Amino acid sequence: MKTLLSALALLASISIAQAGPKEDASQVIERWSKAFVNADLDGIVTLYAPEATMIGTLGKVVMTKPEQIRKYFETAMLNSRPTDIALQSAETLVIDDNTVVLSGLDTITGTMKDGQPYTSLGRVTFVLAKRAPDWKILHLHRSPLPK
């Protein structure tokens, strides 16, 4: 019995240890989505690497500094309150053990500052990299889905 329990514990630890880059990066995207919907500015910003770049949905410049990314989300959260973000279709490309690209189509729903509901269909690409010991967002680009 003790041997069986030891074997099960070993198998469990192996399966946990075998979570790969795709799964690790997906967890970052899940945390990002949760922070976004909860309007958790600090939660979003801490997921980005210091050298991250970003082009937001309504962005007109490539942001290259953490304070620019923070300001973008701060302004976005003042003007609209997201209530849900969902990936309808996404593909994950594992470049190597430390780099993952996720591209897909998403829908963001929420309420504008004036109380009007909104739905934003978009195309999104995240580039994530392992920065010991955590995974960080190196780049985010989101643009409206053409009609």
pLDDT given at position 85: 93
pTM, 2 dp: 0.84
Which domains are present in the chain?
20-144 (3.10.450.50)
pLDDT given at position 10: 41
Q: What distance in Å separates the CA atoms of residue 65 and residue 88, rounded to the nearest whole number?
A: 30
Q: Which ranges of the chain have pLDDT less than 70?
A: 1-18
β-strand partners of 105: 89, 123
Summarised one tens digit per residue, pLDDT across range 76-102 is 888 888 999 999 889 999 999 999 999
Q: What distance in Å separates the CA atoms of residue 28 and residue 26, rounded to the nearest whole number?
A: 5
pLDDT given at position 18: 60
